[in-house]
Amino acid sequence: MLPPSPSPVTIDLPGLIALRHRLSGTGRPSAPSSAAGQGTYRTRFRGRGMEFAEVRAYEPGDDVRSIDWRVTARRGKVHTKLFHEERERPVLLVVDYRRPMFFATRGRFKAVQASRLAALLAWQALGNGDRVGGVLFSEEHHRELRPKSGKGGVLQLLRQMVENPAWQRPPRRPFEPRQRLGATLQRLHRVARPGSRILLLSDFAQWDPEVEKELTLLGRHCELTLVHCYDPLEAQLPPAGTYRVSDGATDLTIASGDGAAHRRYREGFAAFRRQLEDFSLQHRCRYLGLQTGDDPLGLLQPGAKGGL
């Protein structure tokens, strides 16, 4: 008998735990390959360690003990030594549970897609010997989870995702943002230590200069990935016709048939996506798109375009 299909509008703990077994065949480890507390690879992070990596200009937050005084004197500007570091790497899964994420016209809610991908990434991190933590945020709730080693860190994150109050919102409550995305990212600095891998899963509603500022600061000392969750209807209007839409309280009938309106709508989304991609390219972080009808596992497949 086949297991029931995952719900398109909610998540549950057994379903998120079961995703661990889907990692087999992706070419990614599904279980720790070293003793507890031991990192399994040399990180991309440049920090204090045993192997010299490079010298670069000093940045606020760098360890003053690593200043290279000879290079500083020669160039007339403070420079610091950087080292490769071998250790467990903190992985932070930052999941957006604001009201616009609870939407889809096909597949699953954006919030469900983000949760399932976050679970896959958490299990992947466990297999790599990393420490797993996260930040879950919505209009009403903000939860920070410090990275923890072992299976306990993953289960801590999965339980908090399932128990997040956003899943119990009254269905007719309108979207009234109480805290902008930039303010949420500002709070992320409290748990994001230098060298952390941060994966932000969101539709990036409320993207603005404040968001770019906070992400730029985070990206200076962390490995940052932006996972853009969106529904096909957000990218392109449906074919010509009459459609009934509702926000749970008010119904509205719209006619979709104006070619110029279709083009403006499509170009508007394309421009927004380019803005995210350009920011990522400029600041050396990664951008990935995830539609509501996609299989999140596809981003973890070997050779997948833009995969994780």
The amino acid that residue 94 corresponds to is V
- Write the CB contacts of 60 (distance below 8 Å, at least 6 apart in sequence): none
pLDDT digits (tens, 9 = 90+) for 179-228: 689 988 999 988 898 889 999 999 999 999 999 999 999 999 899 999 99
In CATH terms, is domain 13-34+89-300 a member of 3.40.50.410? yes
Angle at CA 287, nearest 5°, toward 156 and 209? Answer: 95
Question: Which of the two residues, 40 and 23, has the higher pLDDT score?
Answer: 23
pLDDT for res 303: 59
Report the Cα–Cα distance between both ends of the chain, in Å, rounded: 32
pLDDT for res 39: 41
pLDDT digits (tens, 9 = 90+) for 82-138: 765 545 789 999 999 999 999 999 999 999 999 999 999 999 999 999 999 999 999
What is the share, in percent, of the chain residues with pLDDT greater than 90? 56
- For 90, phi and psi rounded to 5 degrees? -70, 130
Number of H helices, E strands in the chain: 8, 11
**How high does pLDDT run on average in the chain?**
84
pLDDT digits (tens, 9 = 90+) for 148-168: 999 999 999 999 999 999 999
- Pick the most confident of 32-46, 70-84, 197-211, 242-256: 197-211
Sheet with 79-86: list strands edge to edge: 42-47, 79-86, 51-57
pLDDT for res 26: 57
SS3 225: strand
Report which secondary-structure segment, H or E, holds 14: helix 13-18
pLDDT surpasses 90 at 147: yes
pTM of the model: 0.79
Sequence ranges of the domains in the chain: 13-34+89-300, 43-86
